[in-house]
Structure 1
Amino acid sequence: MARGAMENSSSPSADKIEEEVAAAVEEAKELSDAVSVHISRNQTDEQPLRQRAVALDSKIRSLRSSLYSLLHNKNLNPNLADKLDEDLQRARCILVDGDASSLLPGHAQGRFLRMFLGPINVRASRKDVQLKVKEEYNSYRDRTALLFLLFPAILLVLRSWIWDGCLPAFPVQIYQAWLLFLYTGLALRENILRVNGSDIRPWWIYHHYIAMLMALVSLTWEIKGQPDCAKRQRGVQLFLQWAMMQGIAMLLQNRYQRQRLYTRIALGKAKRMDVVWGETAGVDGQLWLLCPILFILQGFEAYVGLLLLKTAFVGVISEWQVVFCGFLLVLMAIGNFTNTVQTLMTKSRFKAKMRRSKSKQALN
């Protein structure tokens, strides 16, 4: 009888749970239908806003083109042209830095992203998500800049103190594998930033493609040991020294230039999705320190590349990897130098424009 009583007492509970499960299933269906209606309604309401955003962006571009045409034909006062150009730049920053940016068409996703991620859309629909992508990129650069400096420094110290002036192959290959991971991560993040409206120069992305290729090839490069280790590893030693200098330059850029970029964003002269690369965001005092370091770094990079080519052609190290890496280093040095000079010329023109504006204000 006790057993029968237990079965009777459990029956209402079983019936109740069955009803609750059925109610949960029905509620899930209703909620799904309601969300579908809400999304459909939002898409309908969003379409006119999207058209307005695209039309305004096109209008700003057209006005800027007309402004430059009038200035070129000397049909417009240069001081007035500068003011109108700043107003148009401010209007565009308002458009692309607000929530309306999600309504504008982004950069097309290139083959690199499709190769690694497939045909998925990496453009964020909300501005706060886009800014989180940028902050993660900055954080990644901060971490890797320190490792870029410490990793080769440790290898060179151990070479002198423990390895009797002859680097073993395994730790060098670990460093080369880390470089491949580093540049792949940078290239992926920069492509995603460009899709979300950042102004990263195409050269820096191409630079990282080349660096990825060089790191991949260097993994197959046999690290020669004794006899005559110092001569055979001269290119590796110089490359590690160059990497230390690169780490110092990255730390300076990350530390000082980002502060200047925040100032430019506050003044409406840059977008919140813009990032620091090269010397575009530096002020005069920082440029006096940074530019010589950059030019020395680029010259040393070209020197290491030429040295590798020389060692291959004179027969000291005749592997194809040496020739290939030497050529890529020279190519990157030339590209970096050209980009730096173009940036400085742009900055010089901008400073001249600011001086004209200040002179006009002083006269008034």
Structure 2
Amino acid sequence: MSLQRCQTEWEEIDQEYQQLQETHKVYRQKLDELTNLQATCSSAISKQRKGLKDLRYSLRKCTKTSDEKEMELIKDIQMQIKDKEHFFFDMEAYLPKKNGLYLNLVLGNVNVTLLSNQAKFAYKDEYEKFKLCMTIILMFAAITCLFLLNYRVTDEIFNFLLVWYYCTLTIRESILMSNGSRIKGWWVSHHYVSTFLSGVMLTWPEGSMYQMFRSQFLAFSIYQSFVQFLQYYYQSGCLYRLRALGERNQLDLTVEGFQSWMWRGLTFLLPFLFFGHFWQLYNAMTLFRLAGHKDCKEWQVRTEILQSYLCKIPCFQIEYSTTCLYIHPCLITRLLSTQSLATSS
């Protein structure tokens, strides 16, 4: 390569560098403008919230001395206030906000807000893929521990995987909630409890008590992974269709409400869900029985029992009640559609 050609290339690179500097300067200016706009919007939302809070308090006072016509006006204003609060929630999904206590402890004061819809959906999609992959890995790991490798080391690896998996889920779900995902609080709390209980299983020493519960725990882990696999495909299919119809947010993780076309997949899934709920209750009863055993000396058993009564049984009740509350409108809708078909025929 001749020197003249090298000089020409250098001049082209230098010219592109000058353009890059100008572009970067514009980018920095726009970034400053964006930061100022974010601060302005956050301040305006806080001001609006304070004003609405004061207005709600004033309306409560007015209800005591209002006639029927005025009560209708008050109810109308209260409904509009609720709508505005929903809009504020959607707005804040695109604004930087302070992390909760858990994210602050894990990540520090780092801004985890994703600004574009594409970035939010990509993160949520990656979360779903992570859950699916880990569900399959944990299912095969539990099968290996139960049927092939009856060693304490392999059990510890499996339990460590569970601790890491649930810890990672809680972090990712907290980030999704910071970005506007409407995840139920009990769902995230269930994962916190699962993290702690997996840690207790990890520290449970080898012994007769551990061996008595080991097979039941591994069998439950296999079944739970299998049900989660089925549930993933049912919910992802429903959410995909609802998003296509514009009836769900891109960051929603679970399906709420019911439409008639969901019934076919739900009837297949329900027996597995109910069986899993009662198996969870059976695990709590087994641990309670082990605590009364004459050879029981491990604190892990008593800790698992305490957590069962404080968390596992309430989780069973919440999950069971949530499933029943979900299928109740399903059954009503199904019965009404059957009656209408019978009437028309």
* Structure 1 residue 127 corresponds to structure 2 residue 117: yes
Length-normalised TM-score, structure 2? 0.72
Structure 1 unmatched runs, 5+: 1-9, 67-74, 76-84, 160-166
The correspondence of residues 181-330 of structure 1 with structure 2, limited to 5 A, is 181-224=164-207, 233-276=211-254, 283-330=262-309
Tell which deviates more after alignment, 321-330 or 128-137.
321-330
The correspondence of residues 71-110 of structure 1 with structure 2, limited to 5 A, is 96=90, 102-103=93-94, 109-110=99-100
Length-normalised TM-score, structure 1? 0.69
State the Cα distance separating 1:157 from its structure 2 match.
1.3
Aligned residues of 1:145 and 1:251 also touching (Cα < 8 A): yes
Larger CA Rg, structure 1 vs 2:
1
Tell which deviates more after alignment, 24-33 or 231-240.
24-33
Q: Deviations over 1:72-122 (max 9, x none)?
A: xxx9xxxxxxxxx9xx99xx69x94xxx6654576x522221222111011
| Whole-Å separation in 2 of the counterparts to 1:289 and 1:59 | 49
Look up the SS of the partner of 1:145 in the other structure.
helix
> Could you say if the C-alpha distance between residues 126 and 58 of structure 1 is closer, same or farther in structure 2, counting changes exceeding 3 Å?
farther
What amino acid maps onto 1:316 in structure 2?
D
State the Cα distance separating 1:37 from its structure 2 match.
2.3
What amino acid maps onto 1:158 in structure 2?
L
What amino acid maps onto 2:180 in structure 1?
G
What amino acid maps onto 1:207 in structure 2?
H
Look up the SS of the partner of 2:148 in the other structure.
helix
Aligned residues of 2:182 and 2:252 also touching (Cα < 8 A): yes
What amino acid maps onto 2:126 in structure 1?
E
| Whole-Å separation in 1 of the counterparts to 2:30 and 2:210 | 68
1:78 corresponding residue in structure 2? none
What amino acid maps onto 2:113 in structure 1?
R
2:64 corresponding residue in structure 1? none
Aligned residues of 2:281 and 2:316 also touching (Cα < 8 A): no
Higher relative contact order (CA 8 A, sep 6+): 1
What amino acid maps onto 2:139 in structure 1?
L
Q: Deviations over 1:236-265 (max 9, x none)?
A: 111001111101110110111211122222
Tell which deviates more after alignment, 313-322 or 25-34.
25-34
| Whole-Å separation in 1 of the counterparts to 2:168 and 2:145 | 23
| Whole-Å separation in 2 of the counterparts to 1:250 and 1:189 | 18
What amino acid maps onto 1:294 in structure 2?
L
State the Cα distance separating 1:36 from its structure 2 match.
2.6
Look up the SS of the partner of 1:233 in the other structure.
helix
What amino acid maps onto 2:194 in structure 1?
A
State the Cα distance separating 1:339 from its structure 2 match.
2.5
State the Cα distance separating 1:190 from its structure 2 match.
0.9
* Structure 1 residue 139 corresponds to structure 2 residue 129: yes
Q: Percent identity?
A: 23
1:150 corresponding residue in structure 2? 140
Q: Deviations over 1:56-83 (max 9, x none)?
A: 999999xxxx9xxxxxxxx9xxxxxxxx
What amino acid maps onto 1:140 in structure 2?
F
State the Cα distance separating 1:125 from its structure 2 match.
0.9
What amino acid maps onto 1:202 in structure 2?
G
2:28 corresponding residue in structure 1? 36
What amino acid maps onto 2:102 in structure 1?
F
State the Cα distance separating 1:233 from its structure 2 match.
0.7
> Could you say if the C-alpha distance between residues 149 and 17 of structure 1 is closer, same or farther in structure 2, counting changes exceeding 3 Å?
closer
